[in-house]
Structure 1
Amino acid sequence: MWKAIQAAYEAGGDIMKIYNTDFEVDYKADESPLTEADQASHNILVRALRELEPDTPILSEEGNHQSYEERSQWNKFWLIDPLDGTKEFVKKNGEFTVNIAKIKDGHPATGIIYAPVLDTMYYGDKKQGAFKMTQFSKKAGQLASLEEFRREAQAIPISQSSAQVKVVASRSHMSEETKTFIQEIKDQGHDVETLSAGSSLKLCLVAEGSAHYYPRYAPTMEWDTGAGQAIVEAAGGKVEVADSSEPLVYNKENLRNPWFLARL
């Protein structure tokens, strides 16, 4: 898995080269933005993962999406979002990530998230736990294995004491359902602080203990959440379908996620 972490870091480096230029923005059929950085990252990740596990299928946001008839035969696969948060990339606010997840039997077993501008690497595996390494670029050259990374990284969640309940939500475009969720917490007598972050960093805030809840009552796709869910669950948290105790599952016929709630 160390090679996959290295691939995320390499992809982040290529993304930053483009980020620091006057890049052009195209738009997909659904009007979501697309840049050359998305494709550059995709190419790096696919090449590295195929070298790592030649026989393991890859499902990428920027790749050809295989038919459900073909995907239904997979018991494991790589799920990647080469540039999660392209809108944040275009705005140049730094809140975008490279996401790699290993899905086994419909559940995220391992997750890797690298935030290039923040230079922060997250890793989570149900058997090994969850970890965060800041200033990753300064340490990457000194690390030679996943074991060394885990020894040098900070285990998460990080214990934090706060009288407030912290909820990750959009300050500018908060849905009515999210407002209701927050109001219900307030009605229980809690003071609520609203945090904001782009891309899968919202799930990382929950995993590291900086936020208690991330209610997502808006559309997401499987590649948006796979890596983050693996990290949250490795940290001891849960990512469940809204108003249920069922975890998000993967490799569905329709790759769109239902609404969900992430929490520690």
Structure 2
Amino acid sequence: MLNDNLELAIKAAIEAGQAIMDIYEAPFDVEYKEDDSPLTKADKESNTIINTYLKPTTIPIISEENKQIDFDIRKEWKTCWIVDPVDGTKEFIKRNGEFTVNIALVKEGNPLLGVIYVPATKELYYADVSNKLANKVVLENHVFNKENIVKASLPLEPRSNEDIIKVVGSRSHMNSETKDFVDTLKAKGSEVEIVSKGSSLKFCLVAEGKADIYPRYAPTMEWDTAAGQAICNAVGINVISKATNEQLTYNKENLLNPWFLVSN
């Protein structure tokens, strides 16, 4: 059975994915926000669709493309949605397919539910943390069919420790700190293989057993990580802040995440 809010988030992500692909497969323009991050019509249309689904729940929404609300108001929220309408806009612009729709439900700072949809491949990851449910399904089309999704879904299983440590590295953000982390593993005698992936798919690689560790020593925002953390937490994988040595938390005063480590 799917939690009602999880089902709603899946519907929103799939419909947004269809709209994203309609834009992806045609010429599109790129704008740049004040922080020089790219913005496309796909970000805007996906955000509109997701908001249309989530607003009737009356649960407040933090989205990359919504106007950010002052913490004086947000700090009163016990529960909120955290949304990235297109995570990996740089990957979208490069047309490499490694972009996602991220939707998470967070309660008192901790992810409860997470959905990551990959429009280019129709791969859907979804998780209910409290019920330790974390599944993946590949859809035939961008259409929500609950019966088909439940029937075709397979549980995510983290990788058993092997001789080779598979480390997830970003296609766009591999930096000296990450390279130093890899060198430290090698210095301990481990054989290391780098697995490159864009967007929140890096979390999915660890959750589904295609990698062991994802070190993130570069900036991310809460909407980049909340859904991925829900999926990882549901299979027993921690997402540990390098600042606090505790799990990443959400709806913070500053929506910028500290560096973190995802580790099986």
Shorter chain as denominator, the TM-score bin is over 0.9
User: Secondary structure of the residue that 2:54 maps to in structure 1?
Assistant: helix
The structural deviation recorded for 1:3 is 2.2
Unaligned runs of 5+ in 2: 1-5
Give the length in aligned residue pairs.
258
What is the aligned counterpart of 1:119 among 114, 118, 122? 122
Matched, 1:101 2:104: yes
Counterpart amino acid of 1:192?
A: V
Paired residue type of 2:245: S
Alignment of structure 1 residues 64-143 onto 2, 5 Å:
64-128=67-131, 129-134=133-138, 136-138=139-141, 140=143, 142-143=145-146
Segments of 5+ residues of structure 1 without an aligned counterpart are: none
Of 4, 17, 37, the match for 2:42: 37
Deviations 1:59-102 (A, max 9, x none): 11001111100100000011000000000000100000000000
Partner in structure 1 of residue 179 of structure 2: 179
1:196 is paired with a residue whose SS is strand
- Asked if the contact 2:171–2:197 (Cα under 8 Å) also holds between the matched residues in 1, the reply is no
Structure 1 residues 171 and 141: alpha-carbon distance in aligned structure 2, compared to 1, 3 A threshold:
closer
1:63 equivalent to 2:102? Answer no
Aligned AA (2:134): A
| AA partner of residue 168 (structure 1) | V
Deviates more, 1:253-262 or 1:241-250: 241-250
Match of 1:233 in 2: 233
Alpha-carbon distance in structure 1 between the residues aligned to 2:14 and 2:212: 28
CA contact (8 A) 2:122 2:141 kept: no
Alignment-derived partner of residue 261 in structure 2: 261
Which AA in structure 1 matches 2:104?
Answer: A
Letter in 2 for 1:191: E
What's 1:190 paired with?
190
Identity %: 48
Equivalent runs, 1:43-54 vs 2, <5 Å: 43-51=48-56, 53=57
- What letter is aligned with 1:33? P
Instruction: Tell me the C-alpha RMSD between the 2 structures.
Output: 1.8
Whether the aligned pair in 2 keeps the contact of 1:131 and 1:150 (CA below 8 Å) is: no
Is 1:160–1:210's contact at 8 Å kept on the other side of the alignment?
A: no
For residues 253 and 243 of structure 1, do their structure 2 counterparts lie closer, same or farther at Cα, with a shift above 3 Å needed? closer
Which of 17-26 and 150-159 deviates more? 150-159
Deviation at 1:143, TM superposition (A): 2.5
CA drift at 1:173: 4.9
Contact 2:171–2:198 (CA<8 Å) still a contact in 1? no
Q: Distance in 2 between matches of 1:243 and 1:60?
A: 24
1:171/1:194 contact within 8 Å kept: no
Q: Quick one: which amino acid aligns to residue 90 of structure 1?
A: I
Which of residues 13, 16, 22 is equivalent to 1:11?
A: 16
- 1:153 aligned partner, one-letter code: S
Q: Matches of 2:129 and 2:116 in 1, distance apart?
A: 15
TM-score (norm 2): 0.92
Runs of 4+ aligned residues of structure 1 deviating over 6 Å after TM superposition are: none
Structure 1 residue 196: deviation in Å? 0.6
Q: CA deviation at 1:183?
A: 1.3
- Which residue in the other structure is 1:224 paired with? 224
Contact 2:159 2:211 in 1 (8 A): no
- For residues 195-222 of structure 1, the C-alpha deviation after alignment (integer angstroms, 9 at most, x for no partner) is 1111100111111111100000000000
- Contact 1:79 1:223 (8 Å CA) reproduced: yes
CA shift, 1:180, in A, is 1.5
Q: CA deviation at 1:162?
A: 4.3
Q: Is the 8 A contact 2:173 2:218 kept in 1?
A: no
Distance 1:34 1:142 in 2: 30
2: CA distance between counterparts of 1:161 and 1:219?
28
Task: Quote the Cα distance in structure 2 between the aligned partners of 1:28 and 1:139.
Answer: 29
CA distance in 1, matches of 2:20, 2:172: 27
